[in-house]
C-alpha cells in the first residue's frame, strides 16, 4: 500500500491554481525526485504532502500506517535558520520532538537516535560546534540529520542542495541515496539539479503547473523531455 496517494489534486493560492491534475503515489522504499522550472508548483506540492497546505480540489491520502507526524521534513533554509544559536547536537536532537508524546524532556532513546543521525550524516566531529559557525554544506547536513531523527519512514526534502557548490551538492545527494538504500527510508525530494538527482531517484515527477511526467527514472532519461533537461537538446 502507498505511503501517499494524490488523486486529481489542485493546489491554489487565493483561488488561483498553482498546480493542477496531480495524480501519483509514493510507495515504501521509493526515491521520488520532483523537478521543474521555478514557479511550476514544486514547493507548493511539498507543503501539501506534509500537511501545511490543503488541496483546493482532489485528495491526498496517507496509507500503510504512515501518519503526517511521522514525516521528516526539510524546508528551504532561511537566513534566520543559518544563524540559529544552538549546538549541532541540540538541533539534530530537536528532530525527535514528535517522539516525546507527553514527556516534557528528551531521554536516552532520543539521545541514541540523535547520535545515530550524527554518524549517518558524518557530523560526529561537529556535534558540539555552534550551528552558526558551520559552512553552508555542513549546516544542510545538520538539518537533514534533524529531519532524519523525526522519521523511520519518509523524508520530504525541498531543494536540499540549494546555494551549495557542486561538489558539496553531489556529496549531499550521495548521503541521501545511501539513506534510501540502506535505511529503507522513502525519499521525496525537490531538486533543480537533474543531473545529480536522477542518479539515485527511482521515479521522476516533472511539473509545469501540471504533471508532465510521472514514471520510473529509467524511462524519464529516455524521453525527449528528460534528454532536454539533462543535455539541453530540444524536446
Q: Where are the domains of the chain?
A: 1-66+153-235, 79-151
Task: Tell me if 49 sits within 8 A of 125, measured CB to CB.
Answer: no
Task: Tell me if 209 sits within 8 A of 20, measured CB to CB.
Answer: yes
Task: Tell me if 19 sits within 8 A of 214, measured CB to CB.
Answer: no
- pLDDT, one tens digit per residue, over 124-172 is 999 999 999 999 899 999 999 999 999 999 999 999 988 888 888 888 9
- Topology adopted by domain 1-66+153-235: Rossmann fold (3.40.50)
Phi, psi dihedral angles at 26 (to 5 degrees): -120, 115
Question: What residue ranges of the chain have pLDDT lower than 70?
Answer: 78-82, 232-235
Task: Tell me if 82 sits within 8 A of 139, measured CB to CB.
Answer: yes
Give the DSSP letter string of 128-180. TSBGGGS-HHHHHHHHHHHHHHT-SSEEEEE-TTTT--HHHHHHHHHHHHHHH
Give the per-residue pLDDT at 80. Answer: 52
Give the per-residue pLDDT at 4. Answer: 97
Residue listed under C-alpha cell 514528535: 98
Give the per-residue pLDDT at 233. Answer: 47
Give the per-residue pLDDT at 194. Answer: 79
Residue 168 contacts by C-beta under 8 Å, 6 or more apart in sequence?
A: 136, 137, 161
Radius of gyration for the alpha carbons in the chain, expressed in angstroms and rounded: 18
Phi, psi dihedral angles at 163 (to 5 degrees): 65, 15
Amino acid at each position: 500500500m502507498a505511503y501517499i496517494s494524490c488523486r486529481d489534486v489542485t493546489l491554489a493560492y487565493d483561488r488561483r491554481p498553482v498546480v493542477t491534475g496531480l495524480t501519483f503515489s509514493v510507495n515504501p522504499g521509493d526515491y521520488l525526485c520532483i523537478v521543474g522550472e521555478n514557479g511550476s508548483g514544486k514547493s507548493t506540492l511539498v507543503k501539501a504532502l506534509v500537511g501545511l497546505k490543503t488541496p483546493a480540489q482532489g485528495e491526498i491520502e496517507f496509507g500503510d500506517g504512515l501518519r503526517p507526524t511521522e514525516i521528516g521534513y526539510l524546508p528551504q533554509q532561511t537566513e534566520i535558520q543559518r544563524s540559529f544559536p544552538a549546538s549541532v547536537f541540540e538541533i539534530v536532537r530537536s528532530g525527535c520532538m514528535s517522539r516525546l508524546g507527553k514527556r516534557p524532556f528528551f531521554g536516552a532513546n532520543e539521545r541514541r537516535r540523535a547520535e545515530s543521525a550524527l554518524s549517518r550524516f558524518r557530523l560526529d566531529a561537529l556535534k558540539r560546534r555552534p550551528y552558526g559557525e558551520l559552512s553552508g554544506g555542513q549546516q544542510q547536513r545538520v538539518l537533514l540529520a534533524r529531519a532524519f531523527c523525526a522519521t523511520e519512514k519518509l523524508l520530504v526534502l525541498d531543494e536540499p542542495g540549494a546555494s551549495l557548490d557542486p561538489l558539496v551538492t553531489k556529496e549531499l545527494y550521495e548521503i541521501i541515496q545511501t539513506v534510501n538504500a540502506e535505511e529503507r527510508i522513502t525519499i521525496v525530494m525537490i531538486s533543480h539539479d537533474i543531473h545529480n538527482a536522477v542518479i539515485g531517484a527511482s521515479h521522476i515527477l516533472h511539473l509545469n503547473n501540471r504533471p508532465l511526467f510521472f514514471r520510473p527514472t529509467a524511462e524519464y532519461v529516455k524521453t525527449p523531455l528528460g534528454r532536454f533537461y539533462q543535455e539541453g537538446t530540444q524536446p
